[in-house]
Amino acid sequence: MAERLMGVETEYAINGMCGQDSADRAAIVSSLLDLARALPNVRDATSSGMFLENGARLYLDTGLHVEYATPECPNPWDAARYVEAGHRTMLRLLEDFARGPARGVEAGCFRVNVDYCGSGATWGCHESYLHKVDPSLLAYHLIPHLVSRIIYSGAGGFEPFSAGLRFTLSPRAAHIQQAVSSESTRARGIFHTKDEPLCSDYHRLHVLCGENLASQRAMFVKFGATCLVVAMVEAGLEPGLGVQLASPLEALRTVASDLTLRQPLRVERSAGMTALAIQKHYLALAEAHQHDPFMPPWAPALTAEWRRLLERLEEGPAAVDRVLDWAIKLSLYSSHAGRYGLNWDRLPFWAEVTDRLLERLEIPAPDGPTFLDQVTGPNTPIPEKAANLAKLLRAKGLDWEELRRVLAERANFLALDVRFGQLGAQGVFSQLDEAGLLDHRVPGVDNIEHAMENPPALGRARWRGAVVKRVAGEIDGDWKCGWDRIFSRKHGRLCDLSDPFATREFWRPGPPF
């Protein structure tokens, strides 16, 4: 199978303010979905959501968040393009909402990955890759890739379960608890065993450890490289040989926390390899076979971009601080620390101090700088520990006041990270991009407005979109849609989309079930 299909599900966080007060999030989400029903669509056969005229699916998912699933895309340009089309669709709905009856409510939509407010929530960017591999073979070959690709696919931000400010390449990594898992809302795994093909004669790899990204280049390489790894496994090349991680979870934590990109990972039958070296391993194999018949026609272009990105990463974070989400954030946040009078390099130390103090105090989180009054005041519940820490700080030329300033500014950093991913003109990434300060765009990821209303040219999404566009306005219709079928009980007709590479509309009579 030379042609490939992939898809992306973006989970959006929604919030709203009415003056200084929080607005009813459920009401905002409900209003946005009501507004979406004014778009050309056919009702989802399995939920209250809908399929749009570009072949995508928009619906309400668990946790009261809106989710946009792209149509099946034949290449990484389209995958990134339709992710962007989802963002534009959400922005259009927000604009319609702002003109509606709830005029005093300012709603926001965010491509974020974790909640810093203590709820433990995380929003994911799930990927799907069509394949014909025995699913039991995939974990072995994919896990080293999924762990090491964080060096370009990480969203960046702060560790969500730390009471301090500890920067990480991947905030969502803190929510991954197993190497392999069938769970998607708890006990999540690096590799997800879900295999729901939604078509005939194929399997579907479902990746849920990824993150929502703003950089087109990061998205492009993430989707394309992972798709090529799957293609190589399908062809029997065994790309995971020689890079098996001794402890995948430990490696995940190491990569996420390593801002130098130089920390070696424990690899079986090896003295250790960096995440960058593991990615080079996969890339070298893809380059050696990029012109083979089993590879998609876009493989050479993808491997060229993959190599350029890894070569820049070899130079360190500064070489990609206008390109990749995590590196853009690292540069931005460290600059902000300087403006706040904080030493960025000491923030991990203060995070460790804060987390250890919280363990001793047995409280969930510090209440800003007043937390220090509980620790250092005359009534401290841990006098010996506080005295020993104060002595340690003096030996390092530090004092409690610096930690007080860190805790006082913590909320500002977390708010900045949330606003980084906000859609629209208020988003920090959008502002940097508009000012011409970034270099993340990929030639070919364009025509976003067209992608909002039209499906990809290859595969069944083309026909799904065409049918949705045609029947959406039927007043007397009772059309419903799924990934593999569109049907009307009233008309007694069904469009069979079970072939993911369908080259025409295939209609047959009868009920769908």
| DSSP states along 427-447 | -HHHHHHHTT------TT---
Structure token digits, residue 293? 């018949």
Structure token digits, residue 149? 């690709």
Q: Amino acid letter at 410?
A: R
Which burial class, exposed, middle or buried, applies to 485 when counting CB atoms under 10 A from its CB (0-12, 13-18, 19+)? middle
Are the C-beta atoms of 333 and 158 separated by less than 8 Å?
A: no
CA nearest neighbour of 507 among 498, 499, 496, 497: 496
| Domain membership flag for residue 152 | no
| Domain membership flag for residue 357 | yes
Which residue is associated with the tokens 């047995």?
Answer: 362
Supply the pLDDT for residue 364.
65
CA nearest neighbour of 449 among 43, 95, 92, 8: 92
Beta-carbon contacts of 469 under 8 Å, excluding residues fewer than 6 positions away, are: 40, 53
Q: How far apart are CA 220 and CA 228, in angstroms?
A: 12
| Domain membership flag for residue 221 | no
Q: How far apart are CA 182 and CA 327, in angstroms?
A: 32
Q: Which of 417, 450, 483 is the last residue of a domain?
A: 417
Supply the pLDDT for residue 367.
65
Q: Would you give the DSSP letter of residue 344?
A: G
Q: How far apart are CA 405 and CA 482, in angstroms?
A: 53
Within its chain, how far is the Cα of 10 from the centroid? 7
Spot the catalytic one: 21, 34, 44, 61. Answer: 61
| Interior angle at CA 505, CA 503 and CA 509, nearest 5 | 145
Q: How far apart are CA 164 and CA 405, in angstroms?
A: 11
Q: Which residues pair with 509 in a beta bridge?
A: 493
User: Both 411 and 475 in a single domain?
Assistant: no
User: Both 413 and 463 in a single domain?
Assistant: no
Number of domains in the chain: 2
| Domain membership flag for residue 59 | no
Rounded alpha-carbon distances, angstroms, from residue 133 to 1, 25, 204, 232, 233: 11, 42, 9, 10, 7
| Domain membership flag for residue 447 | no
Which burial class, exposed, middle or buried, applies to 331 when counting CB atoms under 10 A from its CB (0-12, 13-18, 19+)? middle
Q: Is 61 a catalytic residue?
A: yes
pTM (2 d.p.): 0.95
Beta-carbon contacts of 238 under 8 Å, excluding residues fewer than 6 positions away, are: 141
User: Both 405 and 468 in a single domain?
Assistant: no
Supply the pLDDT for residue 33.
95
Q: How far apart are CA 60 and CA 12, in angstroms?
A: 10
* N-to-C CA span, the chain: 30
| Domain membership flag for residue 402 | yes
| Domain membership flag for residue 257 | no
Our CA dihedral for 138, 286, 210, 3, rounded to 10 degrees, sits at -80
Domain that holds residue 500: 458-509
Tens-binned pLDDT, residue by residue, of the chain (513 aa): 689 999 999 999 999 988 888 889 999 999 999 999 999 999 999 888 999 999 999 999 887 889 999 999 999 999 999 999 999 999 999 999 999 887 789 999 999 999 998 888 999 899 999 999 999 999 999 999 999 999 999 999 999 999 899 999 999 999 999 999 999 888 899 999 999 999 999 999 999 999 999 999 999 999 999 999 999 999 999 999 999 999 999 999 999 999 999 999 999 877 799 999 999 999 999 999 999 999 999 999 999 999 999 999 999 999 999 999 999 999 999 999 999 999 999 999 999 998 888 887 776 666 667 778 888 888 888 888 888 888 989 999 998 999 999 999 999 999 999 999 999 999 999 999 999 999 999 999 999 999 999 999 999 999 999 999 999 988 777 899 999 999 998 889 999 999 999 999 999 986 655
